[in-house]
A and B are shown apart, each in its own frame.
Chain A
Amino acid sequence: MRRFQARIYGLAFHYLRDPEESRDMAQEIFVQVYRKLDSFREDENLVPWMLRVGRNMCIDRLRRIKARPPAADVVLDENTELAADEPTPEDAAQAEGLKRLLERALGAMSDKHREVILLKDIQGMKIEEIADLLAEPVGTIKSRSNRARIELAARVRALDPSYGT
């Protein structure tokens, strides 16, 4: 669990965008994973399976609170830290600035585009796995992923014109 806790918490945080909600959700996900371990098949990859369980639970939670992630108000708790290996103060400040930049750009995206970025580019799921998870054709997910990446790049550059140059 220690190995995956930051990843599952990160997944919950990107869906729920609230530290307290994310903490509760991540706990729920681990409890659910623990209870569902019997249904985990040996030939499956554990991480995508956990991400699938987590994603479905986050969506359920979002439906329950009847609110999608806020479009622009990205609230990052001061105690919320990206996992890092002993960064220097300069590196930490830079990483913090970058994190906020990316979170702001992500927060301004549509739900569908943000989700495909989250699953593919952040969590590293394959296009086929995402298509299976979202029950949509591979081609649809592939083109949505490309559009989402372009949108994110454009939004990041709108916030910081030096990004990418």
Chain B
Amino acid sequence: MNCRGFQNRLDDYLRGRLRGDDLVAARAHVLACPECREVVEILETSAASVQEDPPPGLVRGILERTTGSPCGSAHGRLCDFVDASLDPIEAELVRLHLGECGECGALAGALARLAGELPGLAEIEPPADFVDAVLARTLPWRRRLARRLPRLAEIGERLAARPRLALEGAYAGTLVLVLILGPSTLAEAPEWAARLVAPAAHLGQPSRARDRVASGLRAAWGTTGGRAAGIAAEMQDDLASRFERTQDARADLRRHRDALLEATLDADPSGAARALKAIGNDLGTLSRRIASDNSDEDQDPGR
């Protein structure tokens, strides 16, 4: 039996509760170890007073001889002592030390009080609008957008009320027409008009000129309209086939659009930047697939 094992059984030894091999080993250790023998002698001579009124310096002496500095040893066990998770002998030694060391006693008191008061710091009331702010950020983006629609509508109305809107609309409409019909078709229109009007003007017959203009316009419209319809039909067929090739890229684009909206509504600039970059890539893929005549070319570049 070593010193630690003996100290663990010290209380049983002093109370005569050891039997058999344990008793033999304890006695052998007391005979062999002068320090433990001294502890036993001190405790046996003052056995009656140990429980209630130890002599001054007794516990300090025991701790110094067994486990080093009593305050250091007590500090090492103080938390377990306060948590009542120390074994009984060590708890008794710590209790005795606390009884005679005011600073360690106050520290133990502070630890016990902290154990009761620290959990009270766990909850701090956030500002009153906290829940609404979180709920607003966890709604699906369509609902969040719906909440902002009145504001967007207000911006739209303000834009629509600008005096130059009609001019800008006309400009945009012209651009669309040129894109659909092509510049060459529109370029011929003034010549048709001149051809229609010139003969009638020379003849000085306004009514005939009016009829010719009307029939000419009908013919021009038939030509232009027919050409436009042909172009539109061709474009529609071509676009439909190209559109089919962009299915997966469009799915990516929708996903990244949602991410961009989420990040924008969350005021998350880094997330928005990532989403924008992804959208840029998606648009690149889309444009390549739309521009490409070969449907396999873009889908499998390695081939």
Chain A residues within 8 Å of B, Cβ to Cβ? 1-2, 5-7, 9-11, 13-14, 22-23, 26-27, 30-31, 34, 79-83, 95, 98-99, 102-103, 117, 121-124, 145-146, 149-150, 152-154, 156-157, 163-165
Q: How far is the CB of A164 from chain B (nearest CB, A)?
A: 3
**B114–A153 touching, CB < 8 Å:** yes
Alpha-carbon separation in the docked complex, A149 to B79 (Å): 7
Alpha-carbon separation in the docked complex, A9 to B121 (Å): 11
**A23–B130 touching, CB < 8 Å:** yes
**B134–A1 touching, CB < 8 Å:** yes
> Which of chain B's residues have a CB closer than 8 A to the CB of A83?
123-125
Alpha-carbon separation in the docked complex, A75 to B138 (Å): 30
Task: Tell me the interface secondary structure of chain B in the complex.
Answer: helix
Most A C-beta atoms less than 10 A away, residue of B113, B118, B122, B137: B122
Which residues of B in the span 108-128 have a Cβ within 8 Å of any Cβ on A? 108-115, 117-127
> Which of chain A's residues have a CB closer than 8 A to the CB of B134?
1, 5, 27, 30-31
> Which of chain A's residues have a CB closer than 8 A to the CB of B36?
none
> Which of chain B's residues have a CB closer than 8 A to the CB of A123?
122
Most A C-beta atoms less than 10 A away, residue of B117, B122, B124: B124
Alpha-carbon separation in the docked complex, A2 to B131 (Å): 7
Known A34-B138, A157-B106: A150·B117 in contact at CB below 8 Å: no
> Which of chain A's residues have a CB closer than 8 A to the CB of B84?
none
Partner of A153, one of B111, B127, B137: B111
**B125–A9 touching, CB < 8 Å:** yes
**B126–A26 touching, CB < 8 Å:** yes
